[in-house]
């Protein structure tokens, strides 16, 4: 296939605004659009959503396929490729590392164990934790995966998702009861998400483990869906304590968001 006829605007090494390489920016934009689509996409769909011409899309996708970051399916549509898995796993670990100073501040100011969790597919995965200094404290293993319907972080992460997507997720995972207080119906869970949106934070009140309360907020504008939380004995994480803890959680989430947005930016 000839390449000498490409226009100057499609040249792979053309510099983008801000001194970047335009073809790289375009390739990563296509990967993010594919991730947002959540499944297979066609070239025409990518062209329509990105505004790029089909020849440019085709060239970029062909390169991504050769590198293993995209797969071309038998039906000629495209899906994210397996080489992204290793990058994602490494990035998740780094995200936890970057978050630890902020979680440590949460522990210092609230006295309770602080966690960071991501939404990975249909599951919640914990990527970082700083434990409380109390002798009686909560402990969640980093790397642990749980279903979102019984967790504060799960509610915080799903609160802004469209109801039909939440229902579809719950249909895939089921809603097993971890305790007698676990929410086990989609309608009740959607009502709980409405409460999260109204209050600005999520609560797990003995729903994952009896005797444990958790308060959680999402990290705004995070590059991947993320939430932070504190958890502790219900006798300490009371309604009165909640009023003191939530503003701290929200402030730390905002600061973490700003740090993630600025990480890697040129000086």
Q: What is the mean pLDDT of residues 216-234?
A: 91
- What residue spans in the chain does CATH classification 3.30.450.40 cover? 85-262
Residue 93 vs residues 100, 148, 203: alpha-carbon distances, Å: 11, 20, 26
Residue 15: the pLDDT is 43
In the chain the first and final C-alpha atoms are separated, in Å, by 41
In this predicted model, what pLDDT tens digit does every residue of 17-44 receive, in sequence order? 455 688 888 888 888 888 877 678 888 8
pLDDT at 1 over 50: no
Of 7-21, 34-48, 218-232, the poorest mean pLDDT is in 7-21
Is the pLDDT at 13 greater than 60, yes or no?
A: no
The mean per-residue pLDDT over the stretch 124-141 comes to 82
- The DSSP secondary-structure symbol of 144 reads -
Give the per-residue pLDDT at 137: 63
DSSP state of 51: -
Q: Is the pLDDT of residue 266 over 50?
A: no
Quote the distance between the C-alpha of residue 174 and its chain's center.
21
CATH architecture of 85-262: 2-Layer Sandwich (3.30)
Residue 28: the pLDDT is 84
Q: Averaged over 159-171, what is the pLDDT?
A: 95
Confidence bin at 84 (pLDDT 50/70/90): confident
Q: How far, in Å, are 2, 34, 71, 73, 77 from residue 42 at the CA level?
A: 22, 10, 12, 10, 5
Q: Where are the beta strands (DSSP E) in the chain?
A: 70-72, 78-80, 113-120, 123-130, 145-146, 202-205, 212-218, 226-233
Task: Decide which of 202 and 23 is more confident.
Answer: 202
pTM to 2 decimal places:
0.71
Lowest mean pLDDT among 87-96, 139-148, 157-166: 87-96
- The more confidently predicted of residues 205 and 6 is 205
Pinpoint the residues of the chain covered by CATH 1.10.10.10: 12-81
CA distance 261 to 48: 27
Please report the pLDDT score of residue 172 as a whole number. Answer: 95
pLDDT in tens, 52-80: 988 999 899 888 998 888 888 888 898 88
Q: What's the token pair of residue 99?
A: 């978050």
Average pLDDT for 146-151: 94
**pLDDT attached to residue 116:** 95
Indicate the class that CATH gives domain 12-81: mainly alpha
Of 223 and 41, the one with more pLDDT: 41
């Amino acid at each position: 296939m000839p390449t000498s006829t490409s226009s100057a605007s499609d040249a792979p090494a053309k510099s983008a605004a801000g001194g970047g390489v335009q073809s790289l920016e375009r390739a990563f934009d296509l990967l993010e659009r594919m991730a947002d689509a959540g499944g297979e996409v066609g070239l025409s769909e990518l062209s329509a959503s990105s505004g790029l011409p089909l020849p440019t899309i085709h060239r970029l996708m062909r390169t991504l396929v050769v590198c293993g970051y995209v797969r071309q399916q038998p039906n000629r549509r495209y899906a994210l490729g397996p080489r992204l898995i290793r990058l994602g796993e490494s990035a998740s670990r780094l995200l936890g590392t970057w978050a630890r100073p902020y979680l440590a501040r949460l522990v210092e100011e609230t006295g309770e164990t602080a966690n960071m969790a991501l939404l990975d597919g249909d599951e919640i995965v914990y990527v970082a934790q700083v434990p409380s200094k109390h002798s009686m404290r909560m402990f969640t293993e980093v790397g642990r995966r749980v279903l979102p319907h019984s967790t504060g972080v799960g509610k915080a992460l799903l609160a802004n998702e469209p109801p039909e997507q939440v229902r579809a997720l719950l249909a895939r995972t089921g809603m097993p009861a971890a305790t007698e207080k676990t929410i086990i119906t989609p309608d009740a869970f959607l009502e709980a998400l409405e409460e999260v949106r109204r209050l600005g934070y999520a609560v797990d009140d003995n729903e994952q483990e009896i005797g444990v309360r958790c308060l959680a907020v999402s990290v705004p504008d995070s590059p991947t869906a993320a939430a932070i939380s504190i958890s502790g004995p219900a006798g300490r994480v009371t309604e009165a304590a909640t009023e003191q803890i939530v503003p701290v959680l929200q402030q730390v989430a905002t600061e973490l968001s700003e740090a993630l947005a600025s990480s890697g930016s040129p000086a």
